[in-house]
Amino acid sequence: MKFLSPLAFLFAVSIPVVILFYLLKRKRVVKLVPSTVLWQRFLADTQASAPFQKLRKNWLLYLQILLLALAVLALARPFFPTEAKPARLRVVILDGSASMQATDESPSRFEKARAEALRWVDALQPGDQMVILLAGANTEVKQPATSDKAALRRALLACAPSDAPTRLLPALRLADSLVRDHRSAEVHLFSDGAADDLREFTGRTLPLIYHKLGHRAENLALIALDSRPHPDEPNLRVVYTAVASFASNTLRADLELFFQAADAATPRLLETRVLTVQPGQTAKHAFTVEQRADGIFTARLVGRDDLAADDEAFVVSLLPRAVNVLLLTRGNRLLEKALRAVPNVQLTVATDLTDPAERFDFVVLDGVTPTVWPKGNVLAFRVANTNWIERLTELESPALVDWKATHPLLRYVSFDAVLVAKSLAPAESALPAWALPVLEASRAALILAGERGRQRIVWVGFDPLESNWPLRVSFPIFIANAVEWLNPANARLAQLFVRAGDPFRLPLTEPLPTAEVKLPDGSTRTLKLDTNATELVFGETARRGVYQVRLGTNSIPFCANLLDPAESNILPRDELKFGESASVPATTVQRTNYELWRTLAALGLGLLLLEWWWYHKRTV
């Protein structure tokens, strides 16, 4: 045991003073009385002439001496010295995800994390080094290993949170590579732990110290936003929203819907709804609005919660356009009728294809092998290009056992009671890499869907007329879903909606030297393009909002949103889980010397209360 303030032992001279008070004889006041009969038992004391008396056994004296001893020890600040784990290299990871903008910490979780990291910089010893990593939309090395405290402070002050989901896995893998060859190294992660991608990282050898930020999850979030044509009215749009509550109590907010036309300067408020969402519940709302021009819908939550990054979302909405479809068939009237029933489909029926069919949005092959294979999207029934599937086998009366109901092609589609007489299927070892089986028989795929290059393909192994599927309601629904999924306009529209932090990709139809991107804050970025490039890739999408891409005379908007329920659940995690069983608990301080003065002061207070009780018990 050692002492931080050994000079405090000088206060121990107060202990003999207390003992002296108990040795001093009491002085009595002389009074004239008519008789001393009643005072006989005090005569011995009055006859004593010595100034001191014999020290008697007195529990109050013992308590007071012990109390003073504890007070002196507390002032001396005793401690048990423990050796801190030497760390010559420290890697500091700041979580820069959207949830770190939560304001349950003052002023925010990220600012508190930065302040704690700055204290670690101040505590660097001579010869120690530190690395600063920012785990935002992408992991950034803000400062390589250095002992320069000024450079480390500048790197931390240059960090800022993004509106992207938590992505700690790349940062931890980078930190692991940095400390792998150092015997004395530590990795300090400042985060709320809201990461779902750590299962892939074992973390068994990483010397990780997890500093938890945040203490609650009072948050109401937009987790879904979509715009679709009204099924009955072409001039109307249906805007779907979903608002989830991650709080422990009921939250209230206003849900506002705005629309900004392409030629308008400011958005226009369409409707406001008052929401009351119970804890853990999701409120879904559909707005039916009139849309006469292309534009952008904005949904906004107005209320009080701890995170603003998920209170607003955007979606580009384009007016529906005609879909030009070419059907190559030898007379399947049921398929032709199902295609004509889809709104906005302009159908052309033929028996062969002799040109690339660039004027068609997609081609339907009904058992017909064309002279020239289409370059665009394809829906093929019982026909296959050898470039798609290498080897096919014939199945008799296959039993349908499973289908992907979550795939866009099979939305609201069920294959219950559907019977197939015969079907082609890829050999078990010949399933193409581009394809996802969406309908399967026993150990065989009957419907494949995927993207090969830039060509979307839906392959059906059987002829609908050799099944009872056209007699089921699921058949026209499947055809409508296929038209929507294969329509290039819808694919282009999907490209205009990205998650914050993900790169935006746009196919280029002609070579251009430069492109200009206007960010949501009004600043612009100029991109130099390769003349041979076929695609524009822009990765600076860490902020939610509306971006404008200018290519020559064309201006193309796209939106970046959070819309992530896992990120909006801002409840801080008490531990990080790695792999199947490994975990790292949260800590806030790495304790080195354990001081005892608080314990001694608490014991002293207890003795003081005991002495007070003893004295009053004796004198009552």
Q: What is the pLDDT of residues 106-131, one digit of tens each?
A: 999 999 999 999 999 998 888 899 99
- If DSSP states are collapsed to H, E and C, what string results for 272-334? EEEEEECCCCEEEEEEEEECCCCEEEEEEEECCCCCCCCCEEEEEECCCCCEEEEEECCCCHH
Model confidence pLDDT, tens digit, residues 496-529:
999 999 999 988 878 888 999 999 999 999 999 9
Q: Measuring CA to CA, which residue among 614, 602, 600, 596 is closest to residue 62?
A: 614
Mean pLDDT within 216-234 = 89
Write down the pLDDT at residue 7.
Answer: 74
Residue 360 CB coordination number (10 Å):
20
Instruction: Please enumerate in sequence order all residues whose Cβ is within 8 A of that of 258, keeping only pairs 6 or more positions apart, or say none.
Output: 267, 268, 269, 270, 297, 298, 299, 300
Q: Tell me if 539 sits within 8 A of 218, measured CB to CB.
A: no
Write down the pLDDT at residue 38.
Answer: 52
Mean pLDDT within 303-324 = 93
Write down the pLDDT at residue 467.
Answer: 95
Model confidence pLDDT, tens digit, residues 531-551:
888 889 999 999 999 999 999
Q: How far apart are the first and last CA of the chain?
A: 43
The secondary structure element, H or E, covering residue 547 is: strand 545-551
Mean pLDDT within 403-419 = 92
Quick check: 351 pLDDT over 80?
yes
Mean pLDDT of the chain: 86
At residue 37 the predicted structure's pLDDT band, cuts being 50, 70 and 90, is: low
At residue 143 the predicted structure's pLDDT band, cuts being 50, 70 and 90, is: very high
Write down the pLDDT at residue 42.
Answer: 53
Quick check: 606 pLDDT over 90?
no
Residue 271 CB coordination number (10 Å):
14
At residue 271 the predicted structure's pLDDT band, cuts being 50, 70 and 90, is: very high
Out of 61-65, 231-235, 465-469, the most confident range is 465-469
Write down the pLDDT at residue 270.
Answer: 96
How many percent of the chain have pLDDT more than 90? 58
Cα distances (Å, whole numbers) of residue 369 to 38, 328, 366, 380, 391:
134, 9, 9, 10, 16
At residue 462 the predicted structure's pLDDT band, cuts being 50, 70 and 90, is: very high
Task: For residue 435, list its beta bridge partners.
Answer: 450
Query: Three-state SS for 554?
Result: strand
Write down the pLDDT at residue 199.
Answer: 78
Identity of the amino acid at 48: A
Burial of residue 111 (CB within 10 Å: 0-12, 13-18, 19+) is middle
At residue 386 the predicted structure's pLDDT band, cuts being 50, 70 and 90, is: confident
Quick check: 193 pLDDT over 80?
yes
Write down the pLDDT at residue 527.
Answer: 92
Write down the pLDDT at residue 112.
Answer: 96
Kind of pairing, strands 554-561 and 524-528?
Answer: unpaired
How far is it, in rounded angstroms, from Cα 122 to Cα 125?
9
